[in-house]
A and B are shown apart, each in its own frame.
Chain A
Amino acid sequence: MYQQLINLKDALGTHPSLKYVISQSHWETDFLRFYQSQTNYNISKEKHSLHCQLYKDKRSFGFEVDNPDEKKVMHALEDALKIIDKMPADPDFVDVEDDARLAEPRPFTNNIQRIGLKEKTEILQSLAKSVAPHRFELFGTFICNNSRSRFMNSNGLDKDSQGSPIYFEVKAVNKENQVTVLETFGGENFDFFDIEAMRESLLFKIENAKKPVVDVDAGKYELILAPRCVAEFVQYLSYGMNAAALDRHSSYFEGLKDTQVFPEIISITDDPKDPQMVQASYGDGGSLYEELKLIDKGYFRAFTCGKYYHHKTGEPKNGNTAECLKIAPGEHSLEEMIASIKHGLYISSLHYMNFINMRDTSLTGLTRDGTFLIEDGKITKVVNNLRFTEHISEILKNATALENKVYTIPFSSNYNMFDINTSKAPHAKIKEFFISSSTKTI
């Protein structure tokens, strides 16, 4: 599979003045999308590509060749060699990565082969049958990816990695009023999937979804954020934990290293080795991806930082990319947390968030797939989807309790190749969360 990569490495070996980073990868997906408790479409798709980044002194040029063969690769290299001397230099470039450590091998299963279309369809048929008597239908996606890549550079790195993440999202939607509840499964190990647990949770949520639908006014609310929401806010926050953001002066955390930024209950790590999550072997530039404490008991401890920004900002190099975020659990049960709220909200999922100002972490977004009213410690009604306009930093500062349990939440980066990653998070109780308007719809 890697013959073109090896050929390219050999060709580059004849140009000692060049530094390079080259990789070859094969990615495939088996993608089932369903709606109204039936298939929308089944897609199989694959991509085989070779990428090369060349450096000469401080000049750089990159090229990608899809479905590479020797003629195409050598032609692209020839073209790159013609242009590279004519390019402006980047004075901040120093060298390519030199972390030659190899990741420990981990068990691997190709989940496209492990979970065939027949099994996926049977799971969906079974869940659809369970929700149908409640007049709910299923919508969502059941995706398995499989990828393998090899990476080399002029400092002698030669690393191989593979992954096969699963993303299964089921939305049960009420046929009459569109009230929606959500269940997901994600990770790389399908042995953790428990259809009975998913069914039980869906049916429990459907009981709440049958409650009357109301609207609420704009204002500040005490609320419970579901783990998906906590994880998504922290993912957005992590943009500012990257040394590139620090370099652009767009990081909230500029000047706040080793400062208490959040309450003591907040601890966030980037952990690529959790077996319940989508794991990662290598990070920025091919460096070994290891566990990194980002927020420790409320104190900001580290920027994720590769070699380039290490040189520019002086931050320690770690190669982390914040793809495997874990928010540590707290001490309370979910029942206790809900019971402690006199008048508030439960938010299941977020939609269409966008920063207003990345540096101060202000953003707007909406609730989706199940927003509920809490009255006297109980979920009493369904609420129309709501808009919030908040600062993520304030949301975390206003965290008053975390659940004593964490959940694996899958996310998809829905551009180019359908990359899947996971986070782990508990439910969180937040005070003074600003709801800025209602959508007046479910």
Chain B
Amino acid sequence: MEQKIKSIIAKLDSSDITFADVRITITDYEYIYFSNGNLRGMGSSLGSHAIGIRILKDGCFGFAGSGDLSDSSIDKLIKRAKDNATHGAAFQKKKLSFPALGATQGEYAFTPEIDPFTMDREEKLDFLSRLADSIKPQGKIVYSGVSANFEKQEKYYANTEGSYYHSVVYNSDPAMSVAASDGNEMQSRTWPGHMGTGRAGFELFYKHEFEKNTERIIKEATDLLSAPRVKDKKADIIIGGGHLGLQLHESIGHATEADRIFGQEISYAGKTFVRPEMLGKFQYGSPILNVYSDSTDPAGMGYHMLDDEGVPGKRIDIIKDGILVNQQTSRHIAHLLGLEPSSNMKASFADDIPLVRMTNLCIAPGKGSLEELIASTERGYFLDFTKTWSIDDNRNNFQFTTEIGYEIKDGRIVGIVKEPTYFGITQDFWNACDGICGEEEWAYQSTFNCGKGEPGQVMRLSHGVAPARFRAVDMLPG
């Protein structure tokens, strides 16, 4: 495949092409899901090939992608990508700027502890079947589900600047859920929550201790039916890692994708309230808030040695001591903003065009344990396990509901509340952060499903976070 991709690059080395890159992905995917204890679906797509050719010509990018890697198909793709660039250039006010970059070579292979594609399938099914059986409907539980998605992706990248990269990674997405009903309303609990995926193999089921948590989610879903709702209009809240990852993702991650500043995502994912002149000045959060983008950490799903336009992986500060200092960029956008490219251009598969994407976007740890943070909270709620999320076009106004809230009084958890809902304005919220737990509580929270772009792409990425406290947050009383 290395030879193939390099031979395609050789075909693109012509004077009318400013820059071109080619990606090839080979993806294995397997899904398994149980509903109410019964296996409802298991299937796979193995060795799925994709190729994408991106050509910068006449100051405009053209792209063509396919699953067909035959020589005749590749010649057609090159022609389509060129035609697409030429037609695009006819509706352009200014040629796209794309400063040259030196060549980089790289090889990376992740090895899971338990390879989900080669492990004994009976063992895999037996484990999942027992798990599904242990949470199947009984008492007030009326629905239960167990699911697993496994992915192995091999990627080849090459460009006309001489860069070449080959990688193999594994991602796993394990989940279980129960729903309880008393005939009128329904409440649900999941494990390990909304961001329980990771750069791992089947071992992720053991790391998340699924078997230990079946009774917990059954009890909590059942108890939520009779639990009170939050009555406060404002409250101090501590957000657990599973949900804080999403809060970070929506209100800092997407807001600092710089393609949004120029309106490149207006037609679907939206804009951002961030403006170029805010860099170095804007008080995004309280001084204890430090946020960085780190594609150099192989523990997160956002790791790469080279991004999908040839920029080597980097760790960069996005928010330093509460001040916005940088953005997630492409080579083109970085040039427009006078920044160095941040290595954030990624595509889901080779036949997708790369976009500015989060990689491993993290909040640096603070100090102390979760127990200490709760103990220092006089009155409030500990919220975790995302239920509903929503944020506006500018990433300024968000509203989240979690599956469960744990009420805190005098530094202790005293009960639970159902569907706690809080909302706020991004800057106000992050400036209300007065406590971030330390390294002992810090972990990656990851997702399989960050949607962006048209045609739509879903990206695998991670957020390193530790639980954090926010003062006087607006709550939606029930």
Contact = CB atoms under 8 A, between A and B. Distances in A.
Interface of A: 29, 31-49, 53, 59-67, 72, 76, 79, 83, 86-92, 117-118, 121, 124-125, 139-141, 143, 169, 171, 173, 178, 180, 248-250, 351-360, 363-366, 368, 385, 387, 389, 412-418, 436-442
B44 A171 contact: no
Nearest to B90: A121
Contact of A42 (B62, B68, B273): B62
B92 A39 contact: yes
Contacts of B49: 66-67
Nearest to B391: A352
What 5 pairs between A and B have smallest CB-CB spacing?
Answer: A62-B43, A414-B456, A42-B84, A39-B88, A439-B397
Contact of B390 (A64, A72, A125, A365): A365
A90 B91 contact: no
Contacts of B89: 39
Given A31-B455, A418-B455, A118 B87 contact: yes
Contacts of B273: 441
Given A178-B271, A180-B266, A354-B390, 16 more contacts: A43-B65, A44-B77, A44-B81, A47-B66, A60-B41, A61-B42, A62-B42, A62-B43, A89-B38, A141-B268, A250-B143, A356-B421, A364-B388, A366-B392, A385-B397, A439-B392
A88 B39 contact: yes
Contact of B67 (A48, A61, A366): A48
Given A43-B65, A366-B390, A121 B455 contact: no
Interface string B105-142: 00000000000000001100100010000000000001
Contact of B143 (A46, A89, A171, A249): A249
Interface in B284-312: none
A39 B91 contact: yes
Contact of A364 (B93, B394, B399): B399
A117 B83 contact: yes
B262 A36 contact: yes
Nearest to A438: B397
A364 B179 CA distance: 21
A29 B455 contact: yes
A258 to B, nearest CB: 20
Interface residues of B, number: 82
A174 to B, nearest CB: 12
B46 A76 contact: yes
A216 to B, nearest CB: 13
B143 A248 contact: yes
Given A416-B456, A441-B396, A38 B45 contact: no
B401 to A, nearest CB: 5
Contacts of A437: 397, 399, 423, 474
Given A42-B63, A117-B83, A354 B389 contact: yes
A179 B273 CA distance: 13
B243 to A, nearest CB: 14
B80 interface: yes
Given A62-B41, A249-B179, A364-B399, A121 B91 contact: yes
A143 to B, nearest CB: 7
A389 B476 contact: yes
Contacts of B40: 90
B429 to A, nearest CB: 12
B21 interface: no
Q: Name A's interface SS.
A: strand
A61 B65 contact: no
Contacts of B455: 29, 31, 43, 45, 143, 414, 417-418
Nearest to B181: A249
Contacts of B90: 121
Given A45-B64, A66-B48, A412 B454 contact: yes
B162 interface: no
Nearest to B84: A42
A87 B33 CA distance: 12
B213 interface: no
Nearest to B64: A44
B98 to A, nearest CB: 13
A358 B186 CA distance: 9
A33 B454 contact: yes
B61 interface: yes
Contact of A48 (B68, B266, B352, B425): B68
A125 B91 contact: yes
A389 B39 contact: no
29 contacts: A36-B93, A38-B91, A38-B92, A38-B93, A39-B89, A41-B84, A42-B88, A43-B84, A45-B351, A48-B67, A64-B48, A67-B68, A117-B87, A121-B90, A139-B266, A141-B268, A248-B142, A248-B179, A249-B143, A250-B143, A351-B393, A354-B389, A354-B390, A359-B186, A364-B401, A413-B456, A436-B399, A439-B392, A441-B392
Contacts of A42: 62-63, 84-85, 87-88
Given A352-B390, A356-B401, A34 B91 contact: yes
Given A31-B454, A366-B393, A439-B396, A47 B67 contact: yes
Contacts of B352: 45
A180 B45 CA distance: 42
A365 B393 CA distance: 11
B419 A357 contact: yes
A390 to B, nearest CB: 12
Contacts of A124: 91
B42 A60 contact: yes
B267 interface: yes
B458 interface: yes
B185 interface: yes
Given A43-B63, A351-B392, A357-B419, A35 B264 contact: yes
B334 interface: no
B67 to A, nearest CB: 4
A285 to B, nearest CB: 14
A357 B392 contact: no
A351 B392 CA distance: 7
Contacts of A87: 39, 42, 125
Nearest to B355: A41
Nearest to A418: B455
A79 to B, nearest CB: 8
Interface string B450-478: 01001110100000000000000010100
B38 A88 contact: yes
Nearest to A351: B393
B368 interface: no
A365 B399 CA distance: 9
Contacts of B393: 351, 366, 368, 385, 439, 441
A442 B270 CA distance: 11
B60 interface: yes
B387 interface: yes
A35 B46 contact: no
Contact of B394 (A88, A248, A441): A441
A8 to B, nearest CB: 15
B388 A439 contact: no
A121 B62 CA distance: 14
Contacts of A248: 142-143, 179
B267 A33 contact: yes
Contacts of A79: 46
Given A31-B454, A36-B263, A360 B63 contact: no
A353 B264 contact: no
Contacts of A44: 63-65, 77, 80-81, 84
A250 B43 CA distance: 26
B92 A141 contact: no
